[in-house]
Chain A
């Protein structure tokens, strides 16, 4: 027997035959330290007298996958290997690994797929093994337990109730038939439909409840399968990508997050109308908000604001607010000082709008906004790139820095330009995902919670009250019961039942 090494002081075995008096034994109760411990689903060499041969019962591969040893092994290996991926950063650049770990380790990591280990063949194989283990094990066990969970006819065995260590026995100063009626009612309200058996000694009343909770474990296991299936569906039929859209602009494709510059068409267009960011007085960002419009077939279908935690969903594709940046500028206020006269002029300008400079200085045209302008190997940050077209001669490109107002002075041109202010034109950074598997995963979540609740906190309970008529007004009563788990809770229940009987 499997658990022989752990039995402690086994003093009593009871074979559970609930449901079908002549069915196969399906549970062994081990009494240890005065508590009933149940090893559910006992099967194997001893006692397995099933009349019908079970499917797969003499197939080696099948047996391998029904083993809970395998389960323990796979769960622990999954836990152990998962640690690796939390210590070694995943999906970083090749340069990062080379610098941090060196050539040898890098090729080792690459060979073992540790760089993206949660999607590596061996990690997925472990998950697959777990799934097969669950499926085979559940099929195997359901073949034996289905009849117990849904019996043709529920029957009770008084002898078994009699043997329960939790059984209570006491005398009552009432006539047997009065007690019988009251107990019948009591059992009916607190447990369920009552069946009555009379023998020469007295009357036994039986009731049971929540037989179906024996299915809870299968619900837990099924939930894992739903989650895994959802993940597979999502990775096969969905995508993960991103897109940056400048305010006022429209796009009809996005870029895949994996695989360099792979375009994914959306099948419709999205316009960013507006982006805004607000800050707390501590300087921390408070909210990022984009106004998006969906355009399909040339028509505006939908306009919505999105913020972090509140995405836009359209045709199974979701747009999440994930980043932002300055794409460009509008209403640029320029201040320019004449080198000759010292006069200071001001003007608000848009891109490509020619500014005729005074003192025959030619024309200034702003071409574009630069986010990180490079000048002799230095990053000058934000600024405006433009050109001056003199009345004669060739044009010169200039850069007007936002951060360094005197930068243009160094050019020694006729005018020194500086930026007095401008309105930012943002781009919004959106994460764009499609995941048709997510509903399977969510359904798995619900099953997992429900299944665990049922398994941990509910049990199939059978109760029995046995009344023996004494002489005249004296009756002897036994109250007993058992549960397929949580014997402690059942004991309390029996005690409560006994209290109520004494109060009759």
Chain B
């Protein structure tokens, strides 16, 4: 079994997880979310093994580099970070249903990696510019940041679809309390902001050691800065202008759109970063 096959299996496991969480919510069966968590952990273990296996394979092929070097590998790692963060949040806050909008993101990222015909899963050697330990630090921290924002995005969607009056007992009323969703969104944004900051910083230090400039305004750098500015705005709106709830949920959604553009959209623009 090679890493690509293992990761394809993981894709299906994550699909099952999403089904369980959404099912738990729609059919009002808590047991499904309970099972969902264990399946998610199983998928996460598989995901971890897949990444490690791929690392080993790259050594066997004589290239020997960490599996963070192309779109396929970065998407697989994105799923991994979102899964890790979500599992952490569920254990910390002991609230089951909150996975409804976060777990599909885990599935979508790895599914896109495995199934999109334009994304190859071959292991390729590293070009000289990518040969740096900063690459590993940079990719891991950026993706932890993205994961924080992704989970915050899931929570924001949940906040917006939940009605404020609790009288109608529809589907959406079964979601956790608005106050908790709001609090969790904020926690995730802070987590994401810290790691995006570290990600941009490690990227800058790396660029300085490779090209001699820590900042060159290439489109990827600029878009990560735009994302960072949007979330800095969010923090100030919340801390200083008293924004919360719906308003913050919307800003968090706009921020995540910027994350997505930084991740995917920038490839349409000319620049240094060949992937992720």
B233–A75 touching, CB < 8 Å: yes
- Other-chain residue from B129, B226, B244 in contact with A308 (beta carbon distance below 8 A): B129
Q: In the complex, which residue of chain B has the Cβ closest to the Cβ of A455? A: B190
A309–B209 touching, CB < 8 Å: yes
- Other-chain residue from A2, A30, A35 in contact with B183 (beta carbon distance below 8 A): A35
B205–A311 touching, CB < 8 Å: no
B225–A286 touching, CB < 8 Å: no
Which among A86-94, A201-209, A359-367 touches the partner chain? A86-94
- Output the least CB separation between B148 and chain A (Å): 11
A311–B128 touching, CB < 8 Å: no
List 16 interface pairs A-B (beta carbons < 8 Å), by A numbering: A2-B241, A3-B242, A6-B244, A35-B183, A39-B239, A39-B242, A68-B241, A72-B236, A79-B229, A118-B217, A240-B213, A308-B129, A309-B206, A310-B209, A442-B205, A488-B183
Whole-angstrom CA separation of A308 from B266 in the bound complex: 24
Q: In residues 104-151 of chain B, which contact A (Cβ within 8 Å)?
A: 124-125, 127-129, 131-132, 134
A280–B236 touching, CB < 8 Å: no
Shortest beta-carbon contacts, A-B, top 9: A3-B242, A33-B179, A433-B212, A308-B128, A86-B219, A79-B229, A68-B240, A456-B190, A309-B132
- Output the least CB separation between B33 and chain A (Å): 22
A40 at the A/B interface (Cβ < 8 Å)?
yes
B201–A79 touching, CB < 8 Å: no
A71–B236 touching, CB < 8 Å: yes
A76–B209 touching, CB < 8 Å: no
Q: Which residues of the other chain, B, contact A79 by a CB distance below 8 angstroms?
A: 225-226, 229-230, 233
Q: Please encode chain A, from 435 to 455, with 1 for each CB lying within 8 Å of some chain B CB and 0 for all others.
A: 100100110010011001100
B55 at the A/B interface (Cβ < 8 Å)?
no
Question: With A37-B244, A75-B233, A318-B212 known to touch, is A83 a contact of B183 (CB < 8 Å)?
Answer: no
Residue of A3, A41, A76, A79 with most chain B CB atoms under a 10 A cut-off: A79
A284 at the A/B interface (Cβ < 8 Å)?
yes
Q: Which residues of the other chain, B, contact A284 by a CB distance below 8 angstroms?
A: 124-125, 127
A311–B212 touching, CB < 8 Å: yes
Whole-angstrom CA separation of A409 from B236 in the bound complex: 76
Q: A33-B177, A82-B222, A282-B124 are known contacts; what are 9 more A-B pairs with Cβ within 8 Å?
A: A35-B179, A68-B241, A86-B223, A308-B128, A310-B209, A320-B211, A441-B204, A449-B198, A449-B201
Q: Which residues of the other chain, B, contact A102 by a CB distance below 8 angstroms?
A: none
Whole-angstrom CA separation of A337 from B245 in the bound complex: 86
Q: In residues 57-76 of chain A, which contact B (Cβ within 8 Å)?
A: 68-69, 71-72, 75-76
Question: With A39-B239, A75-B233, A76-B233 known to touch, is A6 a contact of B247 (CB < 8 Å)?
Answer: yes
Q: In residues 35-56 of chain A, which contact B (Cβ within 8 Å)?
A: 35, 37, 39-41
Q: In the complex, which residue of chain B has the Cβ closest to the Cβ of A1? A: B242
B197–A449 touching, CB < 8 Å: yes
Q: In the complex, which residue of chain A has the Cβ closest to the Cβ of B266? A: A86
Q: Please encode chain B, from 261 to 276, with 1 for each CB lying within 8 Å of some chain A CB and 0 for all others.
A: 0000010011000000
Whole-angstrom CA separation of A157 from B125 in the bound complex: 65
Q: Which residues of the other chain, A, contact B194 by a CB distance below 8 angstroms?
A: 449, 452-453, 456
A286–B125 touching, CB < 8 Å: yes
A240–B212 touching, CB < 8 Å: yes
Q: Which residues of the other chain, A, contact B215 by a CB distance below 8 angstroms?
A: 231
Residues of B whose CB lies within 8 Å of any CB of A are 63, 124-125, 127-129, 131-132, 134, 177-179, 182-183, 190-191, 193-194, 197-198, 201, 204-206, 208-215, 217, 219, 222-223, 225-226, 229-230, 232-233, 236-237, 239-245, 247, 266, 269-270
Q: In the complex, which residue of chain B has the Cβ closest to the Cβ of A78? A: B229
Q: Which residues of the other chain, B, contact A288 by a CB distance below 8 angstroms?
A: 128
- Other-chain residue from B132, B182, B201, B213 in contact with A448 (beta carbon distance below 8 A): B201
A322 at the A/B interface (Cβ < 8 Å)?
yes
Q: Which residues of the other chain, A, contact B177 by a CB distance below 8 angstroms?
A: 33
Whole-angstrom CA separation of A32 from B243 in the bound complex: 12
Q: In the complex, which residue of chain B has the Cβ closest to the Cβ of A77? A: B229
Q: Which residues of the other chain, A, contact B204 by a CB distance below 8 angstroms?
A: 441, 445
Question: With A72-B236, A456-B190 known to touch, is A322 a contact of B128 (CB < 8 Å)?
Answer: no
A452–B222 touching, CB < 8 Å: no
Whole-angstrom CA separation of A90 from B214 in the bound complex: 17
- Output the least CB separation between B67 and chain A (Å): 17
Q: In the complex, which residue of chain A has the Cβ closest to the Cβ of B198? A: A449
Whole-angstrom CA separation of A76 from B223 in the bound complex: 13
Whole-angstrom CA separation of A488 from B243 in the bound complex: 18
A34–B212 touching, CB < 8 Å: no
B128–A309 touching, CB < 8 Å: yes
B208–A438 touching, CB < 8 Å: yes
- Output the least CB separation between B116 and chain A (Å): 23
Q: Which residues of the other chain, A, contact B237 by a CB distance below 8 angstroms?
A: 72
Q: In residues 299-349 of chain A, which contact B (Cβ within 8 Å)?
A: 307-311, 318, 320-322
Q: Which residues of the other chain, B, contact A432 by a CB distance below 8 angstroms?
A: 212
Q: Which residues of the other chain, A, contact B222 by a CB distance below 8 angstroms?
A: 82-83, 85-86
Question: With A3-B241, A118-B217, A320-B210 known to touch, is A309 a contact of B236 (CB < 8 Å)?
Answer: no
Q: In the complex, which residue of chain A has the Cβ closest to the Cβ of B133? A: A309
- Output the least CB separation between B11 and chain A (Å): 27
Q: In the complex, which residue of chain B has the Cβ closest to the Cβ of A280? A: B125
- Output the least CB separation between A273 and chain B (Å): 20
- Output the least CB separation between A12 and chain B (Å): 14
- Output the least CB separation between B22 and chain A (Å): 26
